[in-house]
Amino acid sequence: MNTIILKTASKYLLPLLLLFSIFVLLRGHYLPGGGFVGGLIAAIAFVLHAFANGLENTQQLMRIHPGFLMPVGLLISAISGMAPMLLNKPFMTGLWKSDPVPVIGSLGSALFFDIGVYLVVIGATLTILFTISETR
């Protein structure tokens, strides 16, 4: 699409949608939301930017290929799942810091697992959509 309204709106919506996706990510280990939904919102923000400004501009904006986010996210999730095993606890047992962190709340392994899922979802969604867009 090549409309000035969409280009202008996407310039303002991209940072707002990314901020909202981080809000949903951070809220997820207490209330509905989390890494999956937050990752989809972030991917939608980049897809909207690609519709308005072209795929090449969006890829330059991202600076890294979205396919790189998938193994990084899997590694973060795997480490957060295996960390309790170092303390002789079962795999995926929640570990929590005793003092809450401002803005984030209680810091725990569930948040790091959600961050990994967030990165995997962004990477997988954008890789699929960008690959489809490039072949047209």
13-27, 36-50, 92-106: the lowest-pLDDT one: 92-106
According to the model, what pLDDT value does residue 136 have? Answer: 62
Range of the domain at 45: 4-134
Q: Evaluate if residue 95 carries a pLDDT over 90.
A: no
Task: Look at the chain and report how many structural domains it folds into.
Answer: 1
Q: Evaluate if residue 133 carries a pLDDT over 90.
A: no
In the chain, which residue ranges form alpha helices assigned H by DSSP?
A: 4-27, 35-53, 55-62, 69-82, 109-134
Q: Evaluate if residue 73 carries a pLDDT over 70.
A: yes
